[in-house]
Amino acid sequence: MEDYDLLIRVHLGQNMGRALAYAGPYVRHEESQRPITGACWVTPMGDKWFMDRVNPFGTTVGTMIHEFGHIIAFIA
């Protein structure tokens, strides 16, 4: 764990209402409580929604940046 600052795993998740994706921290540093690992899930509904956009790649990247913010910013 000393060779990286933050490890994020991305998975295909389950549909959860109208969520396109969801994410959160998993393991925190024992002293600073900063996230060391986190996980992000893209729902099947989100995958379809992204592919229906004019710019699927850009829309997906924007959503993933948003979700990564949940991993980095949630403190407890």
Each residue of 30-74: pLDDT tens digit? 888 888 899 999 999 988 999 999 999 999 999 999 999 999 986
> At 53, phi and psi to the nearest 5?
-80, 160
Q: Note the pLDDT of residue 8.
A: 92
Cα separation, 15 vs 37, whole angstroms: 23
Cα separation, 30 vs 47, whole angstroms: 35
Mean of the pLDDT values across residues 11-22?
90
* CB-CB neighbours of 40 under 10 Å: 20
Pairing state of beta strands 35-42 and 7-12? parallel
Would you state the structure tokens that stand for residue 51, as one six-digit string?
């592919």
Report pTM: 0.80
